[in-house]
Amino acid sequence: MPDAILEKAKAKRDASLREAERWSDFIRQCEELRADADATPQQAPRSVARPRRDAQRSLPEDSELAKTIAMVDAVLDAFGRPVPLSELYNAVTKSGLIIHGKRPRDVLGARLYNSNRYRSQGKQTGWWFKDRPIPIRETAPALKQATIAPSDSSDGGLFGPPHPNERLPVAA
């Protein structure tokens, strides 16, 4: 048997023995940790995130967050409905609020979240007060038309053009 093949075999064996020793150490450490955990009473895990601040905390009037809250309160009250972030950003900046940062719209979103006074109802719906119920929008007058049944053949029935407030048939 050539010496090169024998040397490669010994090297592989030695590497395997070192790996087996590392696995043995790992298993031993896990067993020690388990024994320590069983010996000490279980404590509630600490929360990594910092606790949320109280929504009614007092803020200095000249702070950026206090100015933002006052302006957003006024805008949401004026709109009377949840407002998407982009629309809210446009309204508060037109009202004179200056938001600094590389991405000021994102800064506004972070302030809304961190104030703990508002809740996002989704990107399309927008932000609304956390402690108030979401107002229900009235149906627009154009949509108050009577629903036309899909089988109404006066204008083509099922295969005619869809009507603005029509339920389309579901294929079986």
Q: Give the residue from 107, 45, 83, 9 showing the smallest Cα distance to 98.
A: 107
pLDDT at residue 144 in the model: 47
Note whether 76 and 126 are within 8 A (CB): no
Note whether 86 and 70 are within 8 A (CB): no
pLDDT at residue 132 in the model: 86
pLDDT at residue 84 in the model: 92
User: What does each of the 172 residues of the chain score in pLDDT, given as a tens digit?
Assistant: 578 888 888 899 998 999 989 898 888 888 888 887 777 665 555 555 555 555 456 777 777 888 888 888 898 889 888 999 999 999 989 988 888 889 999 999 898 888 888 988 888 888 888 888 888 765 445 444 444 455 555 555 555 655 566 555 666 5
Evaluate the CA torsion angle 26, 27, 32, 38 in order and state its sign: positive
Query: Which helix (H) or strand (E) covers residue 12, if one does?
Result: helix 3-39
pLDDT at residue 120 in the model: 87
pLDDT at residue 169 in the model: 60
pLDDT at residue 143 in the model: 46
- DSSP per residue, 76-137: HHHH-S-B-HHHHHHHHHHTT----SSSHHHHHHHHHHHHTSEEE--TTT-EEETTSPPPPP
